Structure 1
Amino acid sequence: MRGFLTFSWSPEDPAAVRAAGRLKSAALEDGWTEIERRPACWVGVRGPNPPKSYAPRTGTLVIGDVFAHPDAGSGGADGETDEAFAGWYSRNRWGRYVILFRGSDGALMRVFRDPSGSLAVHGWRARGLQILTSGVADAVVAAAPPKVAFDWDRVRALAERPFDLAGPSPLTGIMTVPPGRLADVDGRSMALWSPEAVAATPTRRAADARRNLRRILDHCVGVLSGRRAIGIEISGGLDSAIVGGALSALGRPVAFALNTRGPHAETDERRYAQEAADLMGAPLSCRARAAVAYSAELFEATAGDPWPSQNGRDLENDLLVAAACLEAGVDALLTGKGGDALFFQMHTPLAFADLWRRGPLRSLLSGQLPGVARWTRTSTWSLIRTARESRRGAADDLPPGKRMQIAAITGGLAYYSACRRSEAVDMIHPLMAQPLLEWALRTPVPDLAPNGRERGLARDVFADRLPASIARRQGKGDYAAYFNQQAAQNLPFLRAYLLDGRLAEERVIDRAFMEARLDEDVLRWQGGASEILAAVSLEAWIRRWDGRRRGA
């Protein structure tokens, strides 16, 4: 997986010097490429399109891709303090990067994670070494093992809400730096950028939001794609078609356009994907998923980071896309991931509640009230009641729909978690780029979904770049029956893995309830595979870390 590894030590500590030598050897053998070596610090990178680095000032190293913000101010970075330097970057630069701040001897002191969070930052101390890395590889853990334990309360919370990634880590002993924060290596941190702060200064005019969206999206897609021939994942839905339309408008070459499907008719979106590819002028490769027999090895292979991976639990698609990209020879694959949160696809009465907060009487006369009622299939009276109740117990002045969008954007960090696809190709998610996140956070929810049209603003702005069928389309491919079928075909493994696993042992899941769900008829008629696979991902993560703690 694309990322970085760095560690520092005291040259006066013989044991730490020996530990550093062992870790460096292990890292090089594991596929890391050395980009910097000092008497007290080592830095390596790896993965498809491994991150580049540069030193903008003494004691500071930037790792990753950095671009000028489309709304950047004038002047250069303020180098007076680390906080001022990182703060300037958070306002005037964007990309996929981290900033390392080091002492005069090269010792790691602080780190800043860019607001998009595309490169993770995990840190711990072991054997006299201070380690920071974007991905926790087995070789690194074996050479410098962290002292970890499970926070079972947090594990229980993740079992209930797998995409709630805003809280504390479920694994103690390893520091994880949230996006937009400057952290000391001892774990103390300060927010230099936060979605709440951005959302607190909303764009007042819908016309400005419309005009800015096209400009900012083209900027992000253009710089992330570069001038090389790349691949793009085209699902047949709106979000990937918008990314594809930008590539076409910018004249960027596409070497490989990929669409995947399951065996059920409701998963087959080739018609829409073909129309999007034709509009782009790109050849479309359509691949059918092959059934995969579930195993502990397959799930645990992507479960090695301090947070459980939700990105690799769809095993069939993960394996298929990785193989297809390797076969096509592309080193970067653009996706439409993150678009649901960015453009506001969530079906919720809060899309009206936010307008109510801006002006109750005016909202009653707007098209938003009947529009959201149709969209959510609820009565207008129910919407008004929800809007009135949403003001109670509010922790801040943010409207409830915007608060919901922030949670969805934060949950999108799961798209950066470990998977086989990211081992094979550089996965790039333009719709999760910082300038676009800031645009979405500042745009009021009623403007994002005008008159209750989900992603309505985006549909209007990019209508001239989209096939009419996709611009009008309200739904998307449905994989629920497919996942239920896959779970039913793998029931012997799932029963043994979950019912006799650590989640059941620690009573994180109700064993009797899970046993009842793991039934072929229940899966066929009631579903539930999504929740089952989320539990499998969590179980795989626990078992992987249990094995590491035992030195297995």
Structure 2
Amino acid sequence: MPWAFSGIFRWQSDATGTPTGNGGAPVIFAHRNLTLFQEGKLPAPVFIGTYGCVFGYLFDRQAADARVLRFDPDEVERIISSNGQHLLTRYWGAYVAIWQEPTREALTCLRDPSGMIPCYLIRRSDCVFFASDAGAFRNLTPRPRPDWAGLRRFLYAHELKSRQTALQDVAEVLPGERIRCDETQSKAEMAWSPWDFTRRHTNATPEALADAVAAEVDRVVKAWRSAVARPVLSLSGGLDSSVLAASLARTGQEWSALNMAYADAGSDERDYAGEVAAAYEVPLFRATHHLSDVNSTVATSGHLPRPLGHAFGQSQSKTRQAYLDAEGADALFVGEGGDNVFAYMQSATPVVDRYLIEGPRGAWQTVLDISDMTRTSVWTVMRLAAARWQRHDPRYVWTGDASLLSPATEASLATLPLSHPWLEAPPGALPGEATHISMLLRIQGTLDAGPARHRPTIIAPLLSQPLLELCLGIPSWRWCQGGINRSLVRRGFAGRLPQRVLWRVSKGGANVFCMDVIERDRPLLCAHLCDGRLAHAGLLDVTRIEAVLTSKAPIPSPLHLRISQLAEAEAWVRHWEAD
């Protein structure tokens, strides 16, 4: 985000003086035990009476998704008396709500399910600090230092968020979670669960579902467009960002688009992006990734409590920032989360779901659909579906990645439980539902990556709560109907997107650019990793890393991404250990 909020809640209401750790940010709320700060250009917070406030963007479901600017006294009472649940049922957006109880004895914090705004907290003897930017905690004494246990877990399962971070004593409030802090403990619980919205549209026709998905995308995009003055769309040329373009075009308001490419032909999406921009007659700025913009040993995630991100992202960040500044943009719309929300599964799990709901005839049709979609034989699909059905347990089993970690680290992680409240499937759950939910967790595990608060607001409309709730209720087999991924989205936007974009099933990316960064920096990265803090702490398989980086053979995919991730982790540790 281009801004940051922070706050402090003291157990003693008679505490005096300026709270430590606010980094000089202006006070926007101070009442009883609670003091809140906010800096940067962002919407004014919505005050919850004299109890606290909501940071971020909030829309009212009962008022045509209008932006919320204030609460009347009755709404304040509903929010406080429901322990914040009223925020989740009547409103949606990208927000973190923080308030003190009427008794003044505890603080409650609620983060919305989209995960678009981060929220971290740290306890001290007489208070609790919280912030959207963990860099704010660097002002504390003592300053948080890297937590090696948390870092090991992150490197093993980097896409699965947990309350534990890689900084000592720093916890994360997870998306959809409510946490209550009193003088003795912090107690977290899920206030919003994806399981509450599954299987709501089992009997709906594909046509009705396609129309509903398109209408919901239009609805949330219209709300988001009304909340910002000058947005830019990151238009990759893929389906998800192109869908956002189609919805933005229907708002009747101005916007522009940005596309980034690389010299490699497989990464160049400019023709697709140009076709979409031309269809809606919007200006498109075409930019190119540059190796000279990347420093592989500088942390890009020093403001985060985990080393999330890659050095090669510095090129995109620099170019984006220059263009957004030149345009005077106050928001960047991105298509992140589309694959996840629209259940882009590459497995036979939907066959099992349909078999359990409709029986063999329906399941056979889904076998054919998945065979066409994945270009796999029907016998392979049937074998994989049978194996999944025989496991009986619908829960999704998360697997970690120990590549390039030391044998001792790998052994210590072998029994690590990779859990999350959303992975706990209720009785009667379908395995495809569990897989869909695991996909939402994966995208939330990457959302915080990117530069710190100087950037314009990054908005991912496809992660909006109403769209999440709709898509969770759609059977998994509907998304691959007709043998093509994200089938319902394509049907819903048929006639609104260029045909070449609407039906494309592959897309380029920054993969080759990352490879070229690693190839350029082999000697630098070898020294950075093999004689760094992670190696000295025993986390890395130094022999293997040295062999990969000194070999004349090309580094195989996805090992180059792993090296990039470890290099970021090394730079992040050095950043947080520096005085």
How many angstroms apart in 2 are the aligned matches of 1:144 and 1:50? 29
Letter of the 1:178 counterpart:
L
Greater shift after overlay, 534-543 or 336-345? 534-543
Q: Following TM superposition, by how much is the alpha carbon of 1:271 offset from its aligned partner in structure 2, in angstroms?
A: 0.8
- 1:437 alignment partner AA: L
Partners of 1:204 and 1:401 lie apart in 2 by 16
**1:364-398 C-alpha deviation (Å, 9 max, x unpaired):** 441x2122113223322222222222231334333
Which residue of 34, 37, 40 corresponds with 2:30? 37
Segment drifting more, 527-536 vs 433-442: 527-536
> 2:329 aligns to what?
330
Match status 1:266 vs 2:266: yes
In structure 2, the partner of 1:129 is 127
After TM superposition, the structure 1 = structure 2 runs for residues 98-137 of structure 1, keeping only pairs within 5 Å, are: 98-103=96-101, 109-126=107-124, 128-137=126-135
| 2:371 partner letter | A
1:174-323 aligned at under 5 Å gives the runs 174-185=170-181, 186-199=185-198, 201-205=200-204, 206-226=206-226, 228-254=229-255, 256-292=256-292, 294-295=294-295, 298=298, 300-310=299-309, 314-323=313-322
Contact 1:70 1:435 in 2 (8 A): no
Q: Is the 8 A contact 2:331 2:457 kept in 1?
A: yes
Map of 1:142 onto structure 2: 139
Q: Work out the CA distance in 2 between the residues paired with 1:370 and 1:65.
A: 43
Report the CA distance between 1:433 and its aligned residue.
0.8
SS in 2 for 1:358: helix
Listed one character per residue, the Cα deviations across residues 214-233 of structure 1 (whole Å, up to 9, x for unaligned) are 22111110111116332111
Match of residue 443 from structure 1: 474
Match of 2:94 in 1: 96
Report the 3-state secondary structure (helix = DSSP H, G, I; strand = E; otherwise coil) of the residue aligned with 1:117: coil
Normalised TM-score (structure 2): 0.84
1:401 aligns with 2:398: no
Alpha-carbon spacing, 1:347–1:12, altered in 2? closer, same or farther (3 Å): closer
Instruction: Measure how far apart 1:113 and its partner are.
Output: 0.9
Cα-to-partner distance string for 1:238-279 (whole Å, 9 max, x where unaligned): 11010010010121211x310011111111111111111111
The answer on whether the counterparts of 2:350 and 2:432 sit within 8 Å (CA) in structure 1 is yes
Q: Which residue of 2 aligns with 1:65?
A: 57
With 99-108 and 303-312 compared, the bigger mean Cα shift is at 99-108
Judging changes above 3 Å, is the alpha-carbon distance between structure 1 residues 202 and 57 closer, same or farther for their aligned structure 2 residues? farther
Deviation at 1:174, TM superposition (A): 1.6
RMSD across aligned positions (CA): 2.9
Q: Are 1:503 and 2:495 an aligned pair?
A: no
Q: Distance in 2 between matches of 1:81 and 1:278?
A: 46
Name the stretch that deviates more: 344-353 or 208-217: 344-353
- Determine if contact 2:294/2:311 at 8 Å carries over to the other structure: no
Q: Is the 8 A contact 2:294 2:312 kept in 1?
A: no
- The 1:173–1:326 alpha-carbon spacing in structure 2 relative to 1, beyond 3 Å, is same
1:458-469 pair list within 5 angstroms: 458-469=489-500
The answer for the alignment partner of 1:370 in structure 2 is 368
Contact 1:353 1:386 (C-alpha < 8 Å) held by counterparts: no
Structure 1: segments with no counterpart, 5+ residues: none
Alpha-carbon distance in structure 2 between the residues aligned to 1:216 and 1:90: 17
1: CA distance, partners of 2:162 / 2:200: 21
Question: Equivalents in 2 of 1:484, 1:414: separation in Å?
Answer: 23
* Alignment partners' CA distance in 1, 2:86 and 2:127: 30
Q: Which runs of 5+ in 2 are unaligned?
A: 66-71, 396-424
Question: Residues 434 and 337 from structure 1, CA distance in 2 versus in 1: closer, same or farther, beyond 3 angstroms?
Answer: same
Q: Is the 8 A contact 2:532 2:570 kept in 1?
A: yes
Asked if structure 1 preserves the Cα contact closer than 8 Å seen for 2:199 and 2:473, the reply is yes
**Of 58-67 and 519-528, the range deviating more from structure 2:** 519-528
**Cα shift at 1:236:** 0.8
Q: What secondary structure does 2:285 align onto?
A: strand
Aligned to 1:55: 47
| CA shift for structure 1 position 305 | 1.8
Q: 1:432 to 1:70 in 2, by over 3 A?
A: farther
Q: Report the AA paired with residue 64 of structure 1.
A: G
% identity of equivalent residues: 23
Instruction: Determine the C-alpha separation between the residues in 1 that align with 2:9 and 2:533.
Output: 35
CA distance in 2, matches of 1:311, 1:411: 16
Question: Tell me, what secondary structure is at the counterpart of 1:451?
Answer: coil
Per the alignment, residue 4 of structure 1 pairs with 5
SS in 2 for 1:188: strand
Which of the pair is proportionally richer in helix?
1
CA contact (8 A) 1:117 1:413 kept: yes
Provide the C-alpha distance between the structure 2 equivalents of 1:282 and 1:203, rounded to a whole number of angstroms.
38
Take 1:421 and 1:55, find their aligned partners in 2: how far apart are those partners? 26
Equivalent residue for 1:513? 544
Q: Are 1:480 and 2:511 an aligned pair?
A: yes
Q: Write the deviation string for residues 4-59 of structure 1: whole angstroms up to 9, x where unpaired.
A: 1111336677xx635x35544xx22xxx3432234643222234x42421223442
* Residue equivalent to 2:406: none
Between the aligned partners of 1:169 and 1:83, the Cα distance in structure 2 is 31
Note if 1:155 corresponds to 2:151. Answer: yes
Change (3 A) 1:222 1:422: farther
Q: Quote how far apart the aligned CAs of 1:201 are.
A: 4.1
Counterpart residue type for residue 216 of structure 1: E
Shift of 1:202: 4.7
- Distance in 2, matches of 1:507 and 1:72, equals 55
Task: Tell me if the contact between 1:343 and 1:458 (Cα under 8 Å) persists in the aligned partners.
Answer: yes
In structure 2, how many angstroms separate the alpha carbons of the residues matched to 1:100 and 1:12?
17
Q: Measure how far apart 1:508 and its partner are.
A: 2.9
Aligned-residue offset at 1:284: 0.8
d(CA) in 2 for partners of 1:386, 1:157: 30
| Contact preservation (8 Å) 1:349, 1:376 | no
Task: Kindly provide the CA deviation profile for residues 310-329 of structure 1, in whole angstroms up to 9, marking residues without a partner as x.
Answer: 27652221222122212222
Contact 2:529–2:535 (8 Å) recurs in 1: yes
Q: CA deviation at 1:546?
A: 2.8
Label 1:442 to 1:214 Cα distance change in 2 as closer, same or farther (>3 A). Answer: same
TM-score by length of 1: 0.88
Cα distance between partner residues in 2 of 1:490 and 1:425: 30
Greater Cα shift, 371-380 or 483-492: 371-380
Shift of 1:302: 2.2
SS in 1 for 2:383: helix
